[in-house]
Structure 1
Amino acid sequence: MRLILKYLKRYKKMFLVNVISVFGFALVELGIPTIVAVMIDNGVAAQDGAYIWKMGGVILAISLLGVAGTILLGYCCAWLSTSITRDLRNDIFKKTQGFSHSEYNKFGTSSLITRTNNDAFQIQMFVNILLRTALMTPVMMVGSIFLVLKASLELSVVILCTIPVIIAGVVIVARCSEPISEGQQSSLEWINRISRENLSGIRVIRAFTNDSHEKKRFDEANQSYMSHSKKLFKLMSVTQPAFFLLMNIAGMIIYWISSVMINKGSLQIGELVAFMDYLFHVMFSIMLFCMVFMMYPKAQVSARRITDVLKTEAVIKNDGSGKKLLRPIEEICFDHVDFAYPDGEEAVLKNISFTASKGETVAFIGSTGSGKSTLINLIPRSYDVSAGKITINGEDIRDYELQGLRSAIGFIPQKAMLFMGSIADNIRIGKKDASMEEIIHAAKTAQAYDFIMEKGGFEEQITENATNVSGGQRQRLSIARALVRKPDVYIFDDSFSALDFKTDAAVRRALRKETGEAVVMIVAQRVSSIMDADKILVLDEGSVVGTGTHRELLKSCPIYREIAASQLSEEELAHA
């Protein structure tokens, strides 16, 4: 409720209109039975036609007022609930954009999508019902009970006895439905995760004929969701018949008591008609109140999950605080750096120290899992070091403003990620205001211009998951995206792995002209990609086991020589 009230405060005027429409609706619903009772007792009983027509006109006018109030109430509820849901989704998205890799790992992609979409929708449904009933139910109940007591104290005892029974039932249903709702949302996350994996990895699944296994996985998740949903539906389906049963029993008792009272002359027929209407409104109001309570556990689960996201503080904050990074960057220094993942126990990087200067190319090589990608991800602060420090121009990178730090870096990730849109738009991600000349120049440097023109030019659309470009083409577009930024630091995280040797050599040759005045860091598996580097660091199990040029390492580092021997010919090794 705190989450809903927080967002509801933003729309005080519309909420006030909602309140007014609720009172108008209640006035009509309770006013008509009272007028009907008077019309029966004073008009029908006395056979006064003029009085009946007069009261009929009043009822018509009140009915029209009720229709207007109902329409206004529906509009206000829909407007407020959808506006609150929009704000929730915007805030969740904005919050997740500021998360570091640690927070993404904590929640998981599928969970964040479910919280943004389904959980926000559950809040929308609850708010819509809440705004319709939260005010209307108390007003209708208080008004109906007052009129019931005024009409007949004897008959009102029946209603007052049924209310505690209904409230007890509501509490039981609410307590039973909360754990079921939580399980339902978890099952939905499971479905989303499996669906996402299957759609992304459909080629792998088909290649290994793993269709039946994936169908079984999805069926298990789907069955779990169905099981929880059935339990909820069964629980909810019991409440409405139980309510009407209780209402009918109360009605039978009232008719029996009222027949005795009418025979005695202590109750008039018009009063009985009005009383039965009041009974319906009391019971109906309680039923609406029950609906709110039955939906509350599910909404509470969703609200708690959303609140968990909104209250999570990013380990690495991008709030504009910190020093402004003065460009150009002259030097990046790793000073006895250790790093362990937040959910890990052992350090994956140990005592890393080296310096990369302007105009220098530093390369990293090592076996899979040696920590190469982890190391270079510390520079744009995807994670922060566990011990030691990384400095730029002599200042700890944690002291710099994050946006300024990252804007000085051209990062080409291991997995080339392209977005739906034109090729030009994908390259402009590196620089929003890049001119067409800059885009073309970057594409030519990345050896991407020829295939772009063959595909139809820079306005050619990239499809979902970039299925209309190959792995090598994706890498070259990613390189062009970094080049158009003209950063002070280039970080290539195994960004040439999908390129053939000829294209790899052409890209590296063109890059030397563009990156001559920048700090260049390259993570590579191929020795041929880093042979010309000014400094090569060999990593093994998170530690630097060799530093030097290609020739120096061939002589001094057994691990590097072993890697080189597996990739280069004996002639190439001899002439190194």
Structure 2
Amino acid sequence: MKLMWQYSKRYKGYIFLNFLCVFGFVLIELGLPTLLAKMIDDGINHNNFQIVLFYGLMMLVISLIGFVGLIFLAYFGSKISTSIVRDIRDDVFTRIHQFSHAEFDKFGVSSLITRTGNDAYQVMLFMQQVLRMGLISPIMFISSLVMIVITSPSLAWTIIVALPLLILGIVFIAIVSEPLSRAQQKSLDGINRILRENLSGLRVVRAFVKEKFQESRFNDVNDSYASVSKKLFKLMALAQPSFSLLFTVIMIAVVWFGVQLVGAGNLQIGNLVAFIDYIFHALFSFMLFASLFMLLPRALVSANRISEVLHTEPTISENLSGITKTTKRGYVTFENVTFAYPGNSEEPLLRDISFTAEPGQTVAFIGSTGSGKSTLIQLIPRFYDVTRGRILVDDVDVRDYKLSSLRDKIGFIPQKALLFTGTIADNLRHGKSDATLDELMRAADIAQAEDFISRKENQYDELLSEGGANMSGGQKQRLSIARALVKEPDIYIFDDSFSALDYKTDATLRARIKEELSDATILIVAQRVGTIMNADKIIVLNDGVIVAEGTHKELLKSSDIYYDIAASQLSKEELA
């Protein structure tokens, strides 16, 4: 409730107007039975048509006012609830963008999607009911009770006797439904996870003919969700007829004892009709409140899941007071860096890593799979923080930078080339939002992408589908490289970014990079020796430790690990 209250406070004006509409609607609804009683007792019983007409017109006018009030009530309720869920989603999305990789690993992408989508939607549904029924029900119920006591104290006991049963029923439903709601949302996380994995890995599933296996996995988690949902809905379905039965018994008791009071002359017929109407309003408003209360556990579960995201402090923060500018540009230094993934109690992935890279240099990293190459370069833009030691960029510890300023210095080309839905130009401008077409063309030319872009019907305005699915792997890598080139940073990091390129394109691209980016610092992670053999410095990693360092020719003589890697890829003439 705290989360919902925090966001509701932003719309105090609308809430006040909503409350006025609720209060007015209640007055009108309870005024109608009173007028009806007057019409019967003073008009119909005395055959006075003028009084009947007068009260009839008053009831018509009041009904029209109530109708208009309901329209405004619906408007204000929808306005507030949709604004709240919009704000929640904006804040959750902003917080997610602040998360480091550690927080993503903690929550999981599928769970974050559920929390942003379905959980926020559940909060919106609850808020809509609160702003309409949640405000009307208690006011209507209390006001009806007052009118019941005023109209006929001798019949008021019928509703008072039933109250404990009604309250016990609501409390029971709330207690039972809370764990079911939690399990339901957790199952939905599982559905989103498996669905996301299958849609993104559809080619792999088909290639290994695992459609039946994946269908079985999905059916299991979907059946779990359905099972929990059935229990929850059965509970809600049982509540409705139970309350209705109790209400019917109360109404029968009211009519039975009311008729006896009328027969004894202790109650007028008009007052009995009004009393029945008040009882109906009291019971109906209580049932609406019960329905709202039954939605509460699910809303609380969703609100708590959203709050968990919003109140999780990123392990790597923006550091608003951090350094934004330096006199040096392009220097990277690792000083005895040791790194273990957060929460990992095993051996560190990297141990005592030390090296330097300067402007104009190309420093490459090679080693067996799992040696820590990609992890090492992800520490530079602070995707993770070092466990021990420090990393300096331009003689400043990366932790002392304002995070956005640090990353502005770096052009990062990830191992998996990811493109966004939009045009080619839109994707290239991710590196520099105000880049001109000439700048885009220059970057594409260096990245060897200009040839296939020019063959597209719309060229730089060609639309890319989700993830760049309408491009080949090599084309996506070249666009990803061009995107970094448009940015023109001081430091370029290529995380195995040439793997999808043929040898000729790879060689041409690297030659252009060396020619055009002669003043930049270039860090390359590669599996191909041919990609890095001309680097100024090659660092060989094995089990998270630097085991050798030097040029290609030096390492062929001094490092058995490097020689074995090179021998598996190069000819004897190239090894000589």
Cα offsets for 1:117-166 (capped at 9, x unmatched): 00000000000001112221221111111110011112100101111110
Are 1:243 and 2:243 an aligned pair? yes
Residue correspondence of structure 1 range 182-221 to structure 2 within 5 A: 182-221=182-221
Specify the alignment match of 2:130 in structure 1: 130
Return structure 1 stretches of 4+ with deviation > 6 angstroms.
Answer: none
Letter in 1 for 2:259: S
- 8 Å Cα contact 2:122-2:299 kept in structure 1: yes
User: 1:360 maps to which residue?
Assistant: 361
- Provide the residue aligned with 1:234 in structure 2: 234
Partner of 1:399: 400
Does the Cα contact within 8 Å between 2:319 and 2:400 map onto a contact in 1? no
Residue 3 of structure 1 is matched in structure 2 by 3
Gaps of 5+ in 1: none
Q: Secondary structure at the match of 1:135?
A: helix
C-alpha contact 1:325 1:401 (8 A) present in aligned 2 = no
Aligned partner letter, 2:114: T
State how far apart, in whole Å, the 1-side matches of 2:244 and 2:575 are.
89
SS at match of 1:522: strand
Give, as a single letter, the amino acid of the residue that structure 2 aligns with 1:360.
Q
Per-residue CA deviation, residues 266-312 of structure 1 (Å, 9 max, x unaligned), is 01111110000000011011111101110000000000000000001
The residue aligned with 2:116 is: 116
**Equivalent-residue separation in structure 1 for 2:330 and 2:63 (angstroms):** 79
Range 317-326 or range 35-44, more displaced: 317-326
Measure, in 1, the Cα distance between the counterparts of 2:213 and 2:220.
11
The 2-side partners of 1:258 and 1:288 are apart by 26
Q: Deviations over 1:19-70 (max 9, x none)?
A: 0000110011100001101111111111111111111111111111111111
Could you tell me whether the CA contact under 8 Å between 1:328 and 1:488 is conserved in 2? no
Query: Counterparts of 1:207 and 1:175 in 2: how far apart (Å)?
Result: 48
Say which of 492, 495, 504 aligns to 1:493. 495
Determine the structure 2 residue equivalent to 1:378.
379
Which amino acid is the alignment partner of residue 429 of structure 2?
A: R
The equivalent residue for 1:53 is 53
Question: How far 1:327 moved relative to its partner?
Answer: 5.2
Map of 2:68 onto structure 1: 68
Shift of 1:468: 1.3
For 1:74, the aligned partner's letter is: A
Deviations along 1:196-224, one digit per CA (max 9) or x if unpaired, are: 11111111111110000011111111111
Q: Match for 1:534: what amino acid?
A: D
How far off is 1:467 after superposition? Answer: 1.6
- Please point out which of 525, 533, 536 is paired with 1:534: 536
Counterpart mapping for 1:279-318 below 5 A: 279-318=279-318
> Scaled by the length of structure 1, what TM-score is found?
0.99
Map of 1:84-483 to 2, 5 A cutoff? 84-326=84-326, 328-345=328-345, 346-456=347-457, 457-483=459-485
CA change 1:379–1:304 in 2 (3 A) is: same
Task: Say if 1:148 and 1:279, in contact at 8 Å, map to a contact too.
Answer: yes
Write the distance in 2 (CA, Å) between the matches of 1:126 and 1:468: 41
Write out per-residue CA displacement over residues 379-430 of structure 1, whole angstroms, 9 at most, x where no aligned residue.
0000010000011232211111111110111111000000111111111111
Q: Which residue number in structure 2 is paired with residue 568 of structure 1?
A: 570
How many angstroms does 1:321 deviate by?
2.4
Q: Which moved more, 1:537-546 or 1:395-404?
A: 395-404
The root-mean-square deviation of aligned C-alpha atoms, in Å, is: 0.9
> Partner of 1:44 in structure 2?
44
Question: Is the 1:320–1:403 Cα contact (8 Å) retained in structure 2?
Answer: no
For residues 137 and 153 of structure 2, the distance between their equivalents in structure 1, rounded to whole angstroms, comes to 22
Partner of 1:179, secondary structure, is helix
Secondary structure at the counterpart of residue 134 of structure 1: helix
Overall identity of the aligned pairs, in %: 53
Amino acid at match of 1:276: I
The DSSP-based 3-state class of the residue aligned with 1:431 is coil
Q: In the aligned structure 2, how far is the partner of 1:395 from the partner of 1:139? A: 63
- 1:246 is paired with a residue whose SS is helix
Distance in 1, matches of 2:136 and 2:501, equals: 67
Tell me the alpha carbon deviations over residues 419-463 of structure 1, each in whole angstroms, 9 at most, x when there is no partner: 111111111111111111110010010111001111221111111
